[in-house]
Amino acid sequence: MDYQLLFAVITGVILLLILILRLKLQAFLALLIICVFVGAFSGLAPEIILDAITKGMGGTLGFVATVVGLGSLFGAVLEHSGGAKQIAHYLINKFGIKKAPWSIMVTGFLVAIPVFFDVAFIILIPLIYALQRKTKRSLLLYALPLLSGLAVTHAFIPPTPGPIAVADILNANLGWVIVFGFITGIPTAAVAGPFFAKFISKRIHIDAPYESLEDDEAQLNLPPTGLILSIIFLPIALIVINTILSSPLAENWNLPSNLTYVTALLGHPFTALILANLIAWYFLGIRRNVSKEELLSISTKALYPAGVIILLTGAGGAFKQILIDTGAGLMIAESLTSDYFPPVVFGFIIAAIVRIMQGSSTVAMITAAGITAPLLGVSDYSEMQLAVLVIAIAAGASVFSHVNDSGFWLVKQYLGLTEKQTFKTWSILTTLIAFTGLIVSTILWYLV
């Protein structure tokens, strides 16, 4: 074992945490500094270090920047239309108040596909307040299932930025990531949502903090539920269909060449999201008398947070490339290759450590993906296994949200909790998501 390489990597990770935690340096800049540090301490020539950073950034951003940008535009139009509230109202009316926790969980699960976690939570929280006042039960009975649905989708199911970034760094097929994201996400959301909420709401009673500002008349102008769900699932369906038809499963199906051409074109994430954007732009914007100027303003604002995620993901790709070019990644991979220590567990642990130390799930995902990627060169893993690995890393990056995570304070503020109550509810919920996700993804790893 090359101890100089090992020292460079370990010291680099420690320095990364110091830069982010103590010096409050932006994660994008911190990751680039670590790339230079690890490369230099590993003995790489300056031009090789800089070429690796350029290669890692460019290779990652070509895909991620496009998908994250298109996903952000798509979510902004859906958010503005009131589609999230319409889904929630429809499900609650359909299944009744008694099953409201499950309806709310499903709402969160669906809405977070195109809409960022914090935005979706703020949009839907007035509905949670209204349910609490109507039933007089603990606010947690409805809020935690919503949070569970939102958090699971945000972590596991593209086109949310986290799994897109990890999938790109690991070269995982996005279609399989979506499939296994749903397979893992549904039981995970149930465990961390309605089941946990039923348990904890009997022990902690919380009333709605203040009156909802929801306007019942405004609900009359919400878009149809069928239209909203169709637009949300269109890109997902196209990507999954293309994945299945281009996989070994379809080799003996003798499909017409025209069909495979069309599915390959429309089922690529770029084309699928472009199509979804155009349909949303027309049916949720133009047809609802939203001016072109307002639509332009909505979509432009949506790209601001996407820029941070895109640059951060690029820095993660650069870190991965440095580990590969120095040989440190191969060294770690060979030392950890064991039937008793599969990559899903390794990726989960790395992501969990970074998440607990610095708070951001996105930084944790990207850092863990960069460290885990070199392991994949040691063995020949299938497309399905790589997709499951993405889910395992996302699960680790969800664990134990606490005071260094902005989500902790968002939940505390909107639910009117004390810090202790937030630990007992939100922190436990995110930990349940992490370990349930790990269990399911580990089972899937050996099945596929």
Question: What is the Cα 441 distance to its own chain's centre?
Answer: 15
- For the segment 247-273, the average pLDDT, to the nearest whole number, is 89
Among candidate residues 383, 388, 297, the one with its CA nearest the CA of residue 342:
388
pLDDT tens track for 388-413? 999 999 999 999 998 878 889 889 98
Biggest alpha carbon–alpha carbon distance for the chain? 69
What pLDDT shows up at residue 217? 43
Size (the chain), residues: 448
What pLDDT shows up at residue 437? 98
What pLDDT shows up at residue 340? 58
What pLDDT shows up at residue 1? 54
Asked whether the predicted pLDDT for residue 220 surpasses 60, the reply is no
- For the segment 251-257, the average pLDDT, to the nearest whole number, is 83
What pLDDT shows up at residue 272? 95
Distance between CA 150 and CA 398 in Å, rounded? 12
Which residue do the tokens 């995570």 mark? 405
Distance between CA 405 and CA 360 in Å, rounded? 6
* Percent of the chain residues topping a pLDDT of 90: 54
pLDDT tens track for 136-149? 999 999 999 999 99
What is the domain partition of the chain in residue ranges? 3-447
DSSP one-letter code for 287: G
Specify whether the CB–CB gap between 415 and 140 falls below 8 A. yes
Residue 116 amino acid letter: F
What pLDDT shows up at residue 111? 93
- For the segment 117-123, the average pLDDT, to the nearest whole number, is 88
What pLDDT shows up at residue 60? 72
Specify whether the CB–CB gap between 7 and 40 falls below 8 A. no
Rounded mean pLDDT of the chain?
88
What pLDDT shows up at residue 8? 86
Distance between CA 171 and CA 375 in Å, rounded? 13
Both tokens of 401, joined, read 């949200």
Q: For residue 165, is it left (φ>0), alpha (ψ between -120 and 50) or beta?
A: alpha
Which residue do the tokens 């009997």 mark? 202
pTM (two decimals): 0.85
pLDDT tens track for 317-348? 888 888 888 887 667 666 655 555 788 998 99
Distance between CA 403 and CA 418 in Å, rounded? 12
- Three-state secondary structure string covering 185-241: HHHHHHHHHHHHHHHHHCCCCCCCCCCCCCCHHHHHHCCCHHHHHHHHHHHHHHHHH
pLDDT tens track for 207-218? 997 655 454 444
Specify whether the CB–CB gap between 237 and 178 falls below 8 A. no
Among candidate residues 50, 106, 5, the one with its CA nearest the CA of residue 321:
50
Crossing angle of the two packed helices 361-372 and 161-170, in degrees rounded to 10: 10
- What value, to the nearest 5°, has the Cα angle with vertex 62 and ends 58 and 66? 145
Q: To the nearest 10°, the Cα dihedral for 60, 439, 190, 142?
A: -70
What pLDDT shows up at residue 317? 83
- For the segment 301-311, the average pLDDT, to the nearest whole number, is 82
Asked whether the predicted pLDDT for residue 354 surpasses 60, the reply is yes
The sign of the CA dihedral 282, 286, 290, 295 is positive
Q: 56-70, 155-169, 217-231: which range is least confident on average? A: 217-231
What pLDDT shows up at residue 376? 78
- What value, to the nearest 5°, has the Cα angle with vertex 299 and ends 212 and 314? 110
What pLDDT shows up at residue 378? 63
Distance between CA 442 and CA 385 in Å, rounded? 10
Distance between CA 9 and CA 121 in Å, rounded? 38
What pLDDT shows up at residue 332? 65
- For the segment 154-182, the average pLDDT, to the nearest whole number, is 93
